[in-house]
Structure 1
Amino acid sequence: MVRPPKQESQTQSPSRPFGMAGWVLLAVIGVVYTWSFIDRQVLTLLVQPIKADLGLSDTRMGLLLGFSFALFYSLMNLPAGYLIDRYNRRGLIAIGAVVWSAMTIVCGFARSFGQLFAGRAGVGFSESVIAPASFSLIRDAVEPSRRASAYSVLAMAPYAGSALALLLGGALLAAASDGRFSAWPVLGAMKPWQCVLIIVGAAGFPLTLLLFLVKEPARRVDVQGAKPAGYGQVWSHMKANGWIYFLLLSFTTLQAMLTFGSSAWLPALASRQWGLSPPQVGRVMGLAYLILPPIGLFAGGFVMDWLTARGRSLLDYGILASVISLIAIVAIPFAPTVELMWVAICVKLAFAGSFYAVGATILAQVTPSHLMGKQTALYLLAQNLIGQGMGPMVVALLSDRFFEGGHALGYGLATMAVVVGILATLVGVALRSVLMRWRSVD
């Protein structure tokens, strides 16, 4: 039996009403977090034109979509967690936003695989601060009974960002392809995909100013006299509650691999199997990303708060949602019509983000406030290095090495989804059992 970690003391950390200031904080974080995903995900819509222009294979595109970003994102996670537990989190996010916007512009000027790889690495390096800082800010600003809803709102940012990346990216790509920017300085000499990256990067600079509209919330005190700790104390806390953290990291990492691996290739899959142009894919898929994940996450947040209030496990919903998402992902490449493909994609989008809110809420439950920044950094390290880094890469390798023809990418995606999805479900069931025993001991 694992030893229960210390819970938040209500006398030391009284519940704070999540009023207007809290919603403004959450909204500003959400907007900046959303734009970080536009910078991160717009490349998925540009796979086909970049491949044609630079002569790249699926495997090399997999490196650009996943590994180049995820490796450097993950390497910076640990020092980012250290800084987040000690310094102003709002300021750290602002610095990161300026740098990742600049690095997206660098990607736009790339003329080779190596240059694009370096630009993507820079985006990953600078975006490493946004997630752990956001987790820490919400933990301190929101009382425990409302956290599932707050983290569910935050979990909409990746999907809103992905939606806007597809919608905005598709519109900009169409405009650039039609010569709308041919008379503009700098952009006139660029390929259409380069114009998209430069414009998206430049638009991120003014959004940074929103961070100065909110105040840094006071840090909660869960352990009297606790000060920001080093990673040694974090490791000791993890060892004392080992099975919870091992299973939680395994569950969310496998879910991230499934989610990022499928999302990275869906635009290219729709183009190859059904002959749709990138702007066409961007319009339809962008609207689906914009509408369905928020509905699923809003509903999931209320369901999880309802389960928490009744002493039930969040994983009752999390496991069900992950199974539905798995079935939908496997169905996408085998859909007999383009309409049924879109239906399967919509089902996937409505349920795929549940692991994010479930994992973040459980992490906040079992981690003291003074360890939250570094613990979140370790939590995200696994998700991003393995989940985001390997997910797109595994799909590409399966497609290039084991399958042939126009459906090779779809078969690679389905193979990855079946293996990873089943493992994630089994780990989720084990995590639910451990958490229920932990609660009974506590």
Structure 2
Amino acid sequence: MHPASPRLVQPSSVTGGWYPWYVAGLLAMAHLVSFVDRFVLSLVMEPLKLDLGISDTELGLLQGTGFVILYVVVAVPLGRMADQVNRRNLIVIGIVLWSIATALCGLADSFGSLFLARLGVGFGEAALVPAAMSLLATYFPKEKLGRAVSLFTTGASLGKSAAMIGGGAVLALLVAQGGLTLPMVGTLQPWQGTFVFMALPGLALALIIALTLREPKRVQVADPLAKPGFGPAIAHARAHRSAYIPHVAASVAVVLLIQTIAAWSATFYVRLFDMTPSQAGLLVGSVILVAAPLGHLSGGWLTDRFARSGAPSPAAPVITIGLLGAVPAMLVFALSRDIATSVIAYGLLNFSLTLGSPASLAGVQMLTPPAMRGVVTSVFLAIVTLVGIGLGPPLVGAITDFVFADPDKLNLSLLAMVLVVASFGATMAMASRTAFGRTMRALE
């Protein structure tokens, strides 16, 4: 065994009974709330664009770059903290911070002020996933981890759905009322008031987590080389880079497509099917509510099934199936002008893309010793977030603005993105299999 891949003593007291699943459900709720606050912007992009007079490229920057800058900067330090401090408290602080930043998005009156508020949302949300993954990997054994992670990732898709359906209902109500009036603030536009309302559930959830989630005892280290910290974690990843690099590349493809499609779906229906933002939000949210959880849960089940069967990489075949399945669904979604056909294709697209999400996250846990999971997960998240969220939505906006020079060609920009990225990601996933299996065996 390579010295950077130490044997660790697993905890024996936290993997049975109902409470681990309660923890998984609570963390899934936190993931849901984080995606509500992250994606409510997608719902209000058209009225926001008209009110602030900004371009599609700037909308993409608000969706992607504005969110990821601080997220990426603080992800690794927060991941290291997740290996050393109370993970529950770290999550609670993060929820409070991103909820306040979401409310501040509602007070923005320019591209610059909204961009700054989005930086704050990214800063707070960077605390969640490394700490949550570390908790799940402690509470669940390897043969159940895929399902636990799939429940967590399902929260993300349900959050997108809640942002669209709940946010759409709030937006419609505020449009009917002519905005939202707050003491000492004045009257906000309906899109601004939507941000304020959607920030409130996070504060309630933070209190529930603080009161009911127990921080489990840390894994006992049997090898003195297996110390938590950035240096040992990077040394381990470097020693097993032939497994990590293609797996991370495939995961980037999954995240980029999920986030890009989610960022532009409501605007797609507003522009190409003449819907109002509220109508588009209800449609998109309803489809995601059905299709995406099925994709996440199926992906978790498939990942566990491949793990039990002894596949070299339980993650690679699931990611490949999802990405390749997205291609025909995207072709129909982008090119059909029949609303029923478009909605069915959109559902299949969401199912296919979300199939690979739990496999991506669970795969990183399978490749990483327990004492290093916070740091490695945070580095993984920094990479996939920087590329997937930071590049995907702005690139689609730029293609629409500068290549097609027509807002109504948004469908073609999305189609080009999916065809290229899905093919690349599937190739990388299949290339990871042999080295992935070798690394897993070294950790057993």
Q: Which residue of 2 aligns with 1:159?
A: 157
Of 403-412 and 69-78, the range deviating more from structure 2:
403-412
Q: How much has 1:222 moved relative to structure 2?
A: 5.7
Q: 1:168 aligned to 2:163?
A: no
Q: Which residue of 1 aligns with 2:337?
A: 336
Are the equivalent residues in 2 in contact too, given 1:330–1:413 (CA < 8 A)?
A: no
Q: How much has 1:356 moved relative to structure 2?
A: 2.1
Is there any run of 5+ residues in structure 1 with no aligned partner, and where?
none
Aligned length: 440
Q: Which residue of 2 aligns with 1:97?
A: 95
Q: Distance in 2 between matches of 1:20 and 1:440?
A: 30
Q: Deviations over 1:246-278 (max 9, x none)?
A: 112111112211221121111101110010111
Q: 1:263 aligned to 2:259?
A: no
Structure 1 stretches of at least 4 aligned residues deviating more than 6 Å after TM superposition: 2-5
Letter in 2 for 1:151: V
Q: Which residue of 1 aligns with 2:83?
A: 85
Q: Deviations over 1:148-183 (max 9, x none)?
A: 110111110110100000011100000000007656
Q: Which residue of 1 aligns with 2:122?
A: 124
Q: Distance in 1 between matches of 2:418 and 2:293?
A: 23
The secondary structure found in structure 2 opposite 1:189 is strand
Q: How does 1:32-43 map to 2 (within 5 A)?
A: 32-43=30-41
Are the equivalent residues in 2 in contact too, given 1:97–1:126 (CA < 8 A)?
A: yes
Q: Which residue of 2 aligns with 1:199?
A: 197
Q: Distance in 1 between matches of 2:433 and 2:351?
A: 22
The secondary structure found in structure 2 opposite 1:178 is helix
Q: How much has 1:329 moved relative to structure 2?
A: 2.6
Using a 3 Å threshold, how does the CA distance of structure 1 residues 219 and 406 change in structure 2: closer, same or farther? Answer: same
Q: Distance in 2 between matches of 1:62 and 1:427?
A: 26
Letter in 1 for 2:205: L
Q: How much has 1:434 moved relative to structure 2?
A: 2.8
Q: Distance in 2 between matches of 1:183 and 1:336?
A: 40
Q: Deviations over 1:311-345 (max 9, x none)?
A: 12422222111111233234322113111111111
Q: Distance in 1 between matches of 2:221 and 2:161?
A: 38
Using a 3 Å threshold, how does the CA distance of structure 1 residues 103 and 12 change in structure 2: closer, same or farther? Answer: closer
Q: Which residue of 2 aligns with 1:357?
A: 358
Q: Deviations over 1:403-427 (max 9, x none)?
A: 1435321111111111111111111
Are the equivalent residues in 2 in contact too, given 1:254–1:423 (CA < 8 A)?
A: yes
Are the equivalent residues in 2 in contact too, given 1:78–1:374 (CA < 8 A)?
A: yes
Q: How does 1:310-321 map to 2 (within 5 A)?
A: 310-312=309-311, 313-314=313-314, 315-321=316-322
Are the equivalent residues in 2 in contact too, given 1:181–1:188 (CA < 8 A)?
A: no
Letter in 2 for 1:250: A
Q: Distance in 2 between matches of 1:285 and 1:222?
A: 47
Q: Which residue of 2 aligns with 1:25?
A: 23
Q: Distance in 2 between matches of 1:32 and 1:416?
A: 30
Q: How much has 1:7 moved relative to structure 2?
A: 7.3
Q: How much has 1:144 moved relative to structure 2?
A: 1.2
Q: How much has 1:203 moved relative to structure 2?
A: 3.1
Q: CA RMSD in A?
A: 2.1
Which of the residues 131, 140, 152 maps onto 1:133?
131
Of 240-249 and 371-380, the range deviating more from structure 2:
240-249
Q: Which residue of 2 aligns with 1:59?
A: 57
Q: Distance in 1 between matches of 2:122 and 2:356?
A: 22
Q: Distance in 2 between matches of 1:297 and 1:72?
A: 27
Q: How does 1:9-20 map to 2 (within 5 A)?
A: 9=8, 12-14=10-12, 16-20=14-18
Q: How much has 1:352 moved relative to structure 2?
A: 1.2
Q: How much has 1:61 moved relative to structure 2?
A: 0.3
Q: How does 1:246-285 map to 2 (within 5 A)?
A: 246-285=245-284
Q: Which residue of 2 aligns with 1:307?
A: 306
Are the equivalent residues in 1 in contact too, given 2:367–2:436 (CA < 8 A)?
A: no
Using a 3 Å threshold, how does the CA distance of structure 1 residues 254 and 62 change in structure 2: closer, same or farther? Answer: same
Q: Distance in 2 between matches of 1:355 and 1:75?
A: 26
Q: Distance in 2 between matches of 1:77 and 1:160?
A: 23
Q: TM-score, normalised by structure 2?
A: 0.94
Percent identity over the alignment?
A: 28
Are the equivalent residues in 1 in contact too, given 2:178–2:189 (CA < 8 A)?
A: no
Q: Which residue of 1 aligns with 2:208?
A: 210
The secondary structure found in structure 1 opposite 2:317 is helix
Are the equivalent residues in 1 in contact too, given 2:367–2:440 (CA < 8 A)?
A: no
Q: Deviations over 1:286-314 (max 9, x none)?
A: 11111221122222222221221111242
Q: Which residue of 2 aligns with 1:416?
A: 417
Q: How much has 1:433 moved relative to structure 2?
A: 3.6
Q: Distance in 2 between matches of 1:388 and 1:38?
A: 15
Are the equivalent residues in 1 in contact too, given 2:255–2:384 (CA < 8 A)?
A: yes
Q: How much has 1:354 moved relative to structure 2?
A: 2.5
Are the equivalent residues in 1 in contact too, given 2:180–2:190 (CA < 8 A)?
A: no
Letter in 2 for 1:428: A
Are the equivalent residues in 2 in contact too, given 1:15–1:143 (CA < 8 A)?
A: no
Letter in 2 for 1:408: K
Are the equivalent residues in 1 in contact too, given 2:243–2:432 (CA < 8 A)?
A: yes
Q: Distance in 2 between matches of 1:353 and 1:340?
A: 20
Are the equivalent residues in 2 in contact too, given 1:103–1:122 (CA < 8 A)?
A: yes
Are the equivalent residues in 2 in contact too, given 1:221–1:369 (CA < 8 A)?
A: no
Letter in 2 for 1:329: M
Q: Which residue of 2 aligns with 1:287?
A: 286
